[in-house]
Every structure is written in C-alpha cells, then in structure tokens.
Structure 1
Amino acid sequence: MLVQRLGTPGDFDPLLSRVRGARVVMIGEATHGSHDYYRLREQLTRRLVAEQGVDFVAVEGDWPACDRVHRSVVGAPGGAPDPRTALGCFTRWPTWMWANAEVDRFCRWLRAWNLQRPEGERTGFHGLDVYSLGESMQAIFDYLGEEDPAAMEAAQDAYRCFEPYGGRVEEYGAASRFVSARCEEEVVRLLARTRAHVLSDGPEAFAAWQNAEVVAGAERYYRAMVHGGPDSWNVRDIHMADTLDRLLDRYGPGARGIVWAHNTHIGDARATDMAGDGMVNIGQLARERWGRDAVALIGLGGYRGTVIAAPHWGSPAEVMTVPPAREGSVEHRLHELLPERAVLVFGGADQPAWFTGVADHRAIGVVYDPAAERWGNYVPTRLADRYDAFVWCDDSTALHPLPAVTTVGELETYPSGL
C-alpha cells in the first residue's frame, strides 16, 4: 500500500500511475454536497484528461441535461458558448448536485481544453441516470419529427401510455401493479425504432437511442419502486452500467471513460453489506464486465466539516454541519493516522489488516440529518476491497450551488437520497 500526502495536483502522480492501464476510472464522493470532494475530483480528472487522453466524463446525472452540457464543452453546433448556461438546465431536485460552481469551473476548463483540439479528439460529458422519463420522451419526439416521421407512431403510443399520469410518473408505478396499466410493449417498440438509427447515423441518433433507453429504464424503475427493497436500486445501477458500456462502444476501440458518482455507486458493493441485501452497483458491474485490471475505483471521504443537503426529500438545501466521524469507523481511524489530505493506493502485502477487515464507512446522501449519525449514515465496508484507492480530506466545506429553480421532483431513492 502507498500513502501520499496531497498538497498540489502533482501529488496525484502515484495514483495516476496506478490507473494508467484502466479503461474506466470511477471517482466517488462521500456526499453530494462537499466542495472539497468535487474540487479534488476535478483536479484528478483534469490530469487524466490532459495526460492520459480520457474520452469522456460520465456523471450520476440525467442524460438530456448532461447532453446540453456536453454540447457546450465540445463546442457542438447549437451548444451554449458558456457552460454555466447549460448547467442551468438541471432543474430536477436536487439541482445542486451538478448545477454548482465547482462543476462550472471544471466545464469551463474542459471547454477551453477541447476547443484547442480537433473535433474527433474532444472529451465529452454525459449523464448515466434513469430519471428523465418526460424530458427524454420530448427529446425523442424532437428527433423523430425531423429524422423519421414514420417512426412517430411508436413514440406517440408510448407517450399516450404514460400520458394519464402526467408528470407524476410514480403514479404509473403504482398503477402498474395491474397488468393492463403497464407500458412495456409500447416502450419496447419505441426502443427498437430508435435503436435502428444508431447503426448508420451520428451523435444525434445516438442521443435519441440513449433517451429511448432512459424511457425503458425509467419504466422498469418506477414499477420496481412500488414494491420497495433493492430492486429499484438495481434497475438504476444496471441502467447506469449499461449506459457506460454504450458510451465506451460509441467512442470506439480503446476508449477510456471517467465516472463521477457517490461512493455507494462506484465502490464495489460486494465489499459492503449491500451484497447481503441483494444490491449491485456500477463499480461491481464494471469489474465483472471489463475485468478488475481494466477498472479503477477511487473513493473519497473525510472526518468532519460542512455539507449542502436537505432535511427532507424535495425541501430547500441547507448548509449543515457534519460531526466528527464516530469512533471505530474508517474515517475515525484515518483521522488519527493521516495528514489533512492524502491519497491511499491499495495493493501489496504491507497494508494494515483493518483495511481488509470490516469497518463502518460514512455515506451522506442529498437528504441528511446530522443527529442520525448515532445509528445511520454508515456502511460496513472492507475498504481495500471496495476501492483501488482512497482520497482523504480530513475537514471538508460545503458545495457552492448555482442559482436554480427546481421544476421537477422525483420519488425518494432507495437507500435514502443516494
């Protein structure tokens, strides 16, 4: 095991050497609302893009909203010349996950980097998530209306099936307990029509296909949510893993991608109690599909600080205090052993036994109650099995959201807010 103090981006050198051969590098976060995690992740990502030729960054965000950011950062026709304008399209709560000053800073850098390079060598920015059923349906209508009017019938059938539920797609999930209410057949027809375009068309056709995959994934997701338990989590993470696979195929042989998501998604679920609950995640799925040597999983965590989160699902975000990690946890041990900031690269025979044993590891979602830390917010984890490396930030500060108006809500995710 290697431990490196972090002071400047150059101190990531040992970690960059470790991930050099990986086709997919996943970089996590212990919360969705800490400035320091986003900043450290940005510094590492910049170096991966500039020094190792990464082809795209894929985030735990909606495809249509991220596609507007993508068009801006690659300088595509019609793309916003200012990435902040594109980030304003994140209107689904919690908007602060991606519409924040830290992501804006990275996207401005990425656009400047890309515009110095040929179009075919520019680094993209994409969304992996499954929530955007309504917006993805509209995007499909817009595309088929221009490119394949004959296929509009399939899109209209799918739209009519969901139409009675309006914007409350969770009501579709509840109604789908009755076979007559299900929209599976209509969605499959829509998916087949849009998939056919990808074989011979360009990025617009690929985006339409991905939007159709989102509609299909969302249909499964909302049906699964009705029953509770791990099924809806698995539908979502399998959809994100499948989207990652499609992006790697789309960018071509030898393509490399970076994933930004919560630790609970990128850290291998088999090294936690998630596996016992029947849950999988994108970190586990990527290792299984691409092989462990082709995937690098990097967690981020800290001991105390402040965070942007909400006390209840859908409520306004607040700056909250994150108390010192509880005794015996991963974070408490690292606080005692490490400097303010450091990176651990796992491997070899010299790592302490407790890195491969089970210890509680903190996870904070978009919904957070600091008082609940006495009994919640920790995932039993074998740290060196869950991640290939871990970036440590002893004291973290809150994220800086951009001004935004939330227009669309979602049902609370399982587990809460991750």
Structure 2
Amino acid sequence: MSPATRLLGLGEPTHGVEAFPELRNELFHHLVEHEGYRSIALESDCLSALAADAYVAEGIGTLDDAMSRGFSHGFGASPANRELLRWMRAYNEQRPPHERLRFYGFDGPLEITGAAGPRPALSTLHDYLAAHLDLPWSRETLDELLGTDERWTNPAAMMDPAQSVGRTPDAKELRLVADDLRALLTSHAPHLMTATSPDDFWHADLHARTATGLLRYHAGMADTASTRIGGLMSLRDTMMADNLDAIVRREARRGPTLAFAHNGHLQRDKSQMQFADRPHQWWSAGAIIGTRLGDQYAFAASTFGTRGSDVPHPDTLEGFLSAFPDARAVIDPGRLAAALDRKLTARVPADHTYAALDPATTDQFDAIVFVKEI
C-alpha cells in the first residue's frame, strides 16, 4: 500500500463467515500499533454505529448494549465484532481523546427488507439547527409531512413500488425541506461549529446526509422502471461513498481509516448481480470514493479456497491460489499476473451468497487476501 493511503478497504467475499472479520481484527491491530490508524468503518448502519462508538471511545453503556444497538444487518451477533469493540475499548481506556480509536458505520439505515424511515435523521438535524437559527419549518410541520413511521418501513415496498410512499406529495416536500436544511447547515457552518463543537457539527452533518439519502432511496423504491433494483443499489453505494468521504475528512489529522465490507462495495470496478432473472450493474462505493481520493484509496479483496464440499477448480483464481502451501496469504496482483502460465476462469460457487473474484479484474486490486480453507 502507498504511504499516502488515507482509506484502506478490506473486502470480504461473503457475510457470516467469521474467518474474515477475525482476519480484519488482526489487520486492524497491526495498523493501529504500527501504521498510525485510529479508526475503522464497517458496512453497518451509520446511525446505529454511534452507540458502538460511544462505548469504545467514551465507555458509555455496556458491551452488550453496544452490540445490540450498535450494528445493523445482524452483525451484532458476530463474535469477531464483539471482540473488535472489546479490544478498542481496552485500547482507549488509558488514552487521551485525540488518540482514541473511533468506530464508524458507513452504510445507510438500509436493511435487506427495506429502508428505515427518515424521521430520526431529519428530526435530529432540525433540532440542531433550530437551537441556533430561525427556521421556517416547525417540528409539527415535519411530523405532519412524515406521517406514521409504518408507512415508510412497510416491507412490501421493497418488491412492490406501488407500496412505497417515496414519491407521494408529502415525500417530495420532505426532500425539499431536507435539502434546504442541509444547505443551511453548510452555509452557517462557521457559526455552528463555534456555537456547538466540531463533533456536534459532524454529527448534524451525518444526520443531514442520512436524511437526504433516505428520502432519495425511498423515491427510488417507488420507481417502476425495469432498472429499479440497480438504481437502489447505486443509491446505497453512493450513500456509503459519501459517508466514507466524511469519515476520511474527519480523521484526516489523526490517521488513516480501515473500511471493511463486502468486496462488491469496496472494489474499483462495477458491481453486478442477477436479480429476478435480470442483470443489474452499478458503481460501487469503492469506485466512487476512488475518484475522490485517487491513490489515497487502496483496496484489498479477500477470497477463499475450499468450503466444505465446495472445492475450486484448478483453472479458477481460487483454485490456482489453493496450490500455494500457506493457509493464508497476501498476494500482489501484479506479481500474480506475471507468474500465471494460463488464463484463469471465474469460479462458479456452490453458495449463491458468495461472490467469486473475477480474474479479469485483479488489476483493479492493490492486494488479494487469500484464506485457503474456511
């Protein structure tokens, strides 16, 4: 990795396999102790992560509470994630605030079954601004436009655009209000950062990004075009990239950040998936943030060889790497390409939740992290 790296993305090929977050923990320990890293960002709800960060940075609450409230997508059940928070809290206990490790989520509040409602993010942003500025909108006005939370979180809307409220007149009005509130936050930043604090302002901006991103995503859920699913994936990765950008800027004076997510969210090339018998493509968060950071962004993709009865064919990338003697290895893609004596094919995994690496795109990686067996 380049010494100029500000954001190191470590991808995993599938979720729910502890070998990869365990490997992430080992890498993060090394980066903290030897490379000056002071923060980690996970593919988890950016607002929920505030509870986990409060625990590791300030000792607020308990580890059990941080695990139950600080993660989305079921990641709070991961023993490796629990060990990560425990280690970060122990590291921070005897250190001053500017040296403490920080924990971030960089995903939006977007579960597989649908998106959260915008009320928490929008209300928090409104209240922050209302304490210091005269606003043309009251909380009562926002509540009237928002309506009930249930209409935003209706799981049927994920598959049926007609069930979404994202393009109703109230939702369209809320998008304008959220955009105006965020513009006020930006235009009054010099005053607000002095009247409150840089941390308070950063949290307000986090809620502003989340409110506008959620309203945009709900509008996408109401889209009836055949490109709807790919559009939603693109909106999600754009939210991820914006959050990573803000994290890197916040951490600029403290040290680089490690980001951990599925390979598909951190890679530099286009992400793709097959859904409802249709192919969908979109630019990943890694591709987007890479355009902003240039060589300050590095990406290491991870993959594995054997998983039970799923043994890779020798002519696949995973099969080729399985011939190496080491149980785990970090491979330079350039040296790998020079050593290849045949053209490799893409692996077709037995498990549909696992996305194999495409041998044709390894030139887009800065490193390949290989686990021989899981």
TM-score, normalisation: structure 1: 0.72
Matches within 5 A, 1:289-304: 289-291=292-294, 293-304=295-306
Report the equivalent of 1:64: 47
Residue by residue, what CA displacement relative to the aligned partner does 1:99-151 show, whole Å, maximum 9, x if unpaired? Answer: 42111111111111122222112121111112267576336545754773455
Report the equivalent of 1:335: 322
Distance in structure 1 (CA, Å) of the matches to 2:361 and 2:369: 12
By how many angstroms is 1:301 displaced?
Answer: 1.2
Say which of 192, 200, 207 aligns to 2:203.
Answer: 207
Say which of 360, 363, 378 aligns to 2:346.
Answer: 360
| C-alpha distance 247-352 of structure 1, shift in aligned 2 (>3 A) | same
Distance in structure 2 (CA, Å) of the matches to 1:221 and 1:156: 24
Report the equivalent of 2:276: none
Structure 2 stretches lacking a partner, 5+ long: 274-278
Report the equivalent of 2:362: 384
By how many angstroms is 1:153 displaced?
Answer: 3.2
Q: What is the one-letter code of the residue matched to 2:233? A: W
| C-alpha distance 153-42 of structure 1, shift in aligned 2 (>3 A) | same
Give aligned pairs, total. Answer: 347
Superposition RMSD in Å: 3.3
1:279 aligns with 2:282: yes
Distance in structure 1 (CA, Å) of the matches to 2:117 and 2:177: 17
| C-alpha distance 117-19 of structure 1, shift in aligned 2 (>3 A) | farther
Contact between 2:166 and 2:221, CA under 8 Å: does it hold in 1?
Answer: no
Residue by residue, what CA displacement relative to the aligned partner does 1:202-223 show, whole Å, maximum 9, x if unpaired? Answer: 3233112201211111111122
Distance in structure 2 (CA, Å) of the matches to 1:283 and 1:348: 23
Q: Helix, strand or coil: the match of 2:12?
A: coil
TM-score, normalisation: structure 2: 0.79
1:138 aligns with 2:120: yes
Distance in structure 2 (CA, Å) of the matches to 1:244 and 1:123: 16
Structure 1 stretches lacking a partner, 5+ long: 1-17, 306-320, 364-369, 397-418
1:174 aligns with 2:164: yes
Distance in structure 2 (CA, Å) of the matches to 1:240 and 1:184: 19
Distance in structure 2 (CA, Å) of the matches to 1:165 and 1:137: 8
Report the equivalent of 1:51: 34
Say which of 106, 109, 113 aligns to 1:128.
Answer: 106
Report the equivalent of 1:26: 9
Contact between 2:10 and 2:260, CA under 8 Å: does it hold in 1?
Answer: yes
Contact between 2:145 and 2:170, CA under 8 Å: does it hold in 1?
Answer: no
Higher RCO (C-alpha 8 Å, min separation 6) = 1
Q: What is the one-letter code of the residue matched to 2:332? A: V
| C-alpha distance 69-184 of structure 1, shift in aligned 2 (>3 A) | same
Q: What is the one-letter code of the residue matched to 1:100? A: S
Question: Identity across aligned pairs (percent)?
Answer: 20
Distance in structure 2 (CA, Å) of the matches to 1:40 and 1:301: 12
Report the equivalent of 2:175: 184
Residue by residue, what CA displacement relative to the aligned partner does 1:149-197 show, whole Å, maximum 9, x if unpaired? Answer: 4559355544432324526446597344456652311221332344445
Q: What is the one-letter code of the residue matched to 2:244? A: L
Matches within 5 A, 1:147-296: 148-149=130-131, 151=135, 153=137, 156-164=140-148, 166=150, 168-169=152-153, 171=157, 174-177=164-167, 181-182=171-172, 183-195=174-186, 196=188, 199-200=193-194, 201-227=197-223, 228-253=228-253, 255-270=255-270, 278-291=281-294, 293-296=295-298
Q: What is the one-letter code of the residue matched to 1:282? A: A
